[in-house]
Amino acid sequence: MNTAGSAADSNAGNNAQNSAKQAISIRLMEEKDYPQVQKILQTGMDTGEATFEENAPEAWEDFMRHRLPELSFVAIDTDPAAAAAAGLGEDGEKILGWITATSASHRDVFDGVLEDSIYVHKDAAGKGVAGSLLDRLLKDAAEQGHWAMHSSIFPENEGSVRLHVSRGFEEVGVFHCMSHMNYGPKKGTWRHNMVMEKILEGGPAWKYYQENLERSDEGNAEGSAEETK
């Protein structure tokens, strides 16, 4: 289970109305990306609002140990001058954010259920990067046969909550006192995790889920009609 949830920017839920969206391209994450991915991760960790963990893994292999490489993406700044300005050279690529998925359970029967993790560079905050990454992950996950996406988020991480709500996630509930915070502004406190889920549109469970929602809505409507008689 990824206790981090997301460190998405605080304006993520308003990306559709954001007139200054960042021009990006999205591709699969590669080992060469890890120095930038690690730096973005550590910056998110340092806020104390992304994860219980304090330090990003040193090695690429450790970072990817439980992540699915076919569902790990980076957002690249399409401005050719951005990489040079960041000291990455003329042929370099500036990474503005990344997203990965892990299996929500070690049990094979739940292998269609995933959990996301999103981190965005501070330079890309509020520019639609987090939303674009999440859109790509949801689309590819459904196409690969997965049926649900979960996210575990600190309730105080309002940007991440708004982002997920904007993509159709719903709150399932809250796990209380999941762990003790050992660093950051909330060091010494017990913290809760909000769990959100989305049944993937186009995934194998989507039709069944929609049919059951319709039956539930019909039942609620009939119940309301009976009460008004």
The pTM score is 0.86
Beta 170-180 vs 148-153: how paired, if at all? unpaired
The residue extents of the domains of the chain are: 6-228
* C-alpha pair distances (Å), 102 with each of 68, 82, 137, 201, 224: 6, 30, 11, 19, 41
Q: What are phi and psi of 25, to 5 degrees?
A: -125, 150
Q: What is the pLDDT along the chain (229 residues), one digit of tens a residue?
A: 333 444 554 344 444 344 467 889 999 999 999 999 999 999 999 999 999 999 999 999 999 999 999 999 999 999 878 877 877 766 789 999 999 999 999 999 999 999 999 999 998 999 999 999 999 999 999 999 999 999 999 999 999 999 999 999 999 999 999 999 999 999 999 999 999 999 999 999 999 999 998 777 655 655 554 555 5
- Quickly name the fold that domain 6-228 has: Aminopeptidase (3.40.630)
